[in-house]
Amino acid sequence: MGRPNGLARTSVRFRPASFAGSFVALLFAAMLVTMCGIFLESGIRAHVPAGRYADTPIVVAGPTTTSKTFGSGEDKENVKVALPERARVDAALAARIAAVPGVAAVLPDLTFPAQTPTAVLDAHPWSAARLAGTPHDGAAPRPGEAVLTTEAAHRIGAGATAGGTVRVTTPAGEVPLRVSAVLPGTDARLYVADTEAARLAGNPGKVTAFGVLLADHTSTGKVAGELRKVLKATGAEVRTGDGRGEVEHPGLGDTKELLIGVGASFGGIVAAVAVFVVAGSTSLSVAQRRRDFALLRAVGATPWQIRRMIATETAMVSLLAGLAGVLPGTLLARWWFDTMVGRGMIEDGVTLAVGPVPMLVAVGAGLLSALLAGLMAARASARTKPTEALGEAGVERARVGWVRLVLGLVALAGGGVLSGIAMKATGDQAVGAAGGVIMLFMLGVGLLGPVIAHLFVYATGFLLRLFGAPGRLAFDNARTNSRRLASAITPITLTVAFATTLMFMFAAQDHYSEKQSKAALTADRVIGGPGFPAGTTTEIARVPGVAAVTSVLATNVVMAGSDDLQKYSTQGIGGTDTDLARVLDLGVRAGSTDALRPGAAQPPGGAVAMDRLTADTVKARLGKPIEIRLGDGTRIKPTLVATYDRGLGTAAVTLPRATVEHHVDAALDTRLLVRLADRADPAAVDAALAKVARAHPDTRISDRAGYAAERDQDRETNKWTNQVMLVILAGFATIAAVNTMIVSTVARRRELGLMRMIGSTRTQVRAVVRGEAALVGVIGLALGLTIAMITLVPFGKGAFGESTPYVPVPLLLGISAAALLLAPLSVAPITRRLLRVEPIDAVGAKE
């Protein structure tokens, strides 16, 4: 036994079937870890090349992130999040920028939407045309005039020619503009006079960015450094290179967070599942070859040589599987990324970063997991005395080692304690704890698998004895071979636990969101579209039969929890009605929303209302001020005047429109909630509203049912992402379960042959195998559902304020049926194939 490495290579080469299960598990693990690593790297490295600013060496703009430091001393951590809205900068900074040596010109730029009945254009001041390289052949527009690019003129259609007139809706309202020129351009842009750009954008005294042109033979880096010193106290950022592209693409920060979230959060779950799957399959592979190791011990092999042989075998298989898995993982990442691009979830210009690091990590993680699992599984075979080796190999041990037993009990106890802690927590803390609960319970099940299988066989095995001799034999076999049974039960438990938890979480979010949305909306009509200026509410209020109009300006704010910053959906409330509940019943639990209405008296610093779970998460107290960072990063400290129950169906935070309108990209209302007069003719009102809506592109007028359907469509993007994650994760766990069942069944060919030799018919043998498989399905389903329900309780309490989990019966029945059928359907074809072998040949076959 002097060359264990050579023996290991020979074993892998001539007995590949013994390693097939491990190879499949490691391949899929490497594939998914590679995919998640590519997303994580893409999020970290995401950038957009400069487009409009390609010929502008330096751009000065507002910050794109906000941050907060948590903890102190060595535990100090600075947390950053991307700002939900574009942060504008003070127009007066132009003079300070121009005074820096080397600056030749400072060109202020504003970006705001200009809507026509047929298109939504990007509008800019005329001086910004120079930044984009737009030809200046046409005359500069005077107040009341506009210059269009050819693409913009094409989208507008009629009237978009030199000398014609177009009517556009901007954040400041609707204005007619005479077209002074149409210049070449592939982007749909509209340029107005510099003197009226700020007014139309709705943010007087603010600009989106400054383009800085340099004098000849001036160093960009040197000027940028001087500008950073001059502007340090203003909050403005100096950008060069690819950093200029982020000014044009404010959604880049959200794209980074999405990719990093998928890569890190989902990747963490995938990695944890992969560890369970790889450890289980590797341990099963080692356990099935215990006769080989026993024979080697009997002929003089030392424990060290056995371990080295197993390590070599495992390394070879894991390396081959890892290398085979990186290409499918890359292709899967490419497919998912391209699909997200098609759905508008990825900022234009961002590309997928495919580098070697994720692939190396995937291969290395699989190698490490397999080696540890293989060496742990080999401890018993390596330590068995040579004189006892063959006898020990013929009998499967029902117990587990003390170390494994203690760790398993600690994991189960930790899961129970964490579940109890999560029940006392609120908001995101309770939701976050749910992931820890399921991981700890799965770790406990993985470590105590043989013991749990043994106990469950005794508890549920009486069902098998009801089916005569085959059933009794299946029960006795399952009781004796609890280790083999545990190797099949664990992946099914894993599949059921994760599939049930994720599917029920998503179903609960849809259920409570729809329920709250329907209960909250009391308006008779909802007008939705790409955006309405503030004056539209007055225009709608003049329609005969309309009693009141409430406008909703959608944005996000950033608030700090115990140890992180989070974005929260926010609605800015405006309009003509003083009673918000006439159109939107938030389900106020404490306080009053009166201070949020237009013209109402507000406490010092302003007023805010929050969903009660959000208020608990950020530790906001009724009647006390709370720090809020608006979409552009501006900090305010309004007083919490009310908490409500229907934030999931409306918004987590409610502020007056006046508080947020100058801190968003474009102060355009996303929805107008209309209350009809008591005796109004609905048909006549609808006709009048439709006439007003024609001035705005893609405007929709819905009743309450239509509004609920629109909100369902708005949630579709997040729902789709979650579904993809679920399919990938559940698919991986299912493949692992099927793989384990097949491998463990193939290893029983001698046992099945022996049953045939003592008189069992093929039908009886199949009945025994089916009975064991059914028992595996029952135990796996019971364990998986138990873990899922324990996990869903704190999740439901933290996310919805409901301690009883939401259980969609059709989903529960579907998961149960799949789990119960998975094992029998997996082993049936393999059993049929094994039974075609003559009994004498099966008994004499190699292990």
Residue 75 sits at φ, ψ, to 5 deg, of -90, 5
Percentage of residues of the chain with pLDDT beyond 90 = 22
Residue 822 host element (H or E): helix 809-835
What the block records as the tokens of 40 is 């994580």
* Cβ contact 779:823 at 8 Å: no
User: What pLDDT sits at residue 246?
Assistant: 86
- pLDDT (tens digit per residue) in 33-45: 999 999 999 999 9
* Cβ contact 773:482 at 8 Å: no
What the block records as the tokens of 521 is 């909306």
pLDDT at 251 over 80: yes
pLDDT at 329 over 70: yes
Question: How far apart are alpha carbons 597 and 550 in whole angstroms?
Answer: 9
The number of angstroms, rounded, from the C-alpha of 738 to the middle of its chain's C-alpha atoms is 27
Q: Within 10 A of 23 (CB to CB), how many other CB atoms are there?
A: 20
The number of angstroms, rounded, from the C-alpha of 92 to the middle of its chain's C-alpha atoms is 41
Mean pLDDT of 433-462: 75
3-class DSSP assignment, residue 697? coil
pLDDT at 392 over 80: no
* Cβ contact 30:320 at 8 Å: no
pLDDT at 127 over 60: yes
User: What pLDDT sits at residue 2?
Assistant: 46
Rama region for 102: left / alpha / beta (φ>0; ψ in -120 to 50; rest):
left
pLDDT at 395 over 60: no
* Cβ contact 202:662 at 8 Å: yes
Question: How far apart are alpha carbons 482 and 399 in whole angstroms?
Answer: 9
Residue 82 sits at φ, ψ, to 5 deg, of -70, 140
pLDDT at 459 over 90: no
* Cβ contact 551:657 at 8 Å: yes
Strand partners of residue 567? 558
Q: Map 237-302 to HEC letters.
A: EEECCCHHHHHHCCCHHHHHHHHHHHHHHHHHHHHHHHHHHHHHHHHHHHHHCHHHHHHHHHCCCC
Mean pLDDT of 197-207: 88
* Cβ contact 525:689 at 8 Å: yes
Q: Are strands 58-61 and 700-702 parallel, antiparallel or unpaired?
A: unpaired
- pLDDT (tens digit per residue) in 665-690: 888 998 899 999 888 888 899 898 88
pLDDT at 372 over 50: yes
What stretches of 533-668 adopt beta strand conformation (E)? 546-560, 565-575, 588-591, 607-611, 628-629, 635-636, 639-644, 653-656
pLDDT-based confidence at 713, cuts 50/70/90? low
Residue 645 sits at φ, ψ, to 5 deg, of -105, -10
Task: List CB contacts of 130: < 8 A, sequence separation 6 or more.
Answer: 107, 136, 211
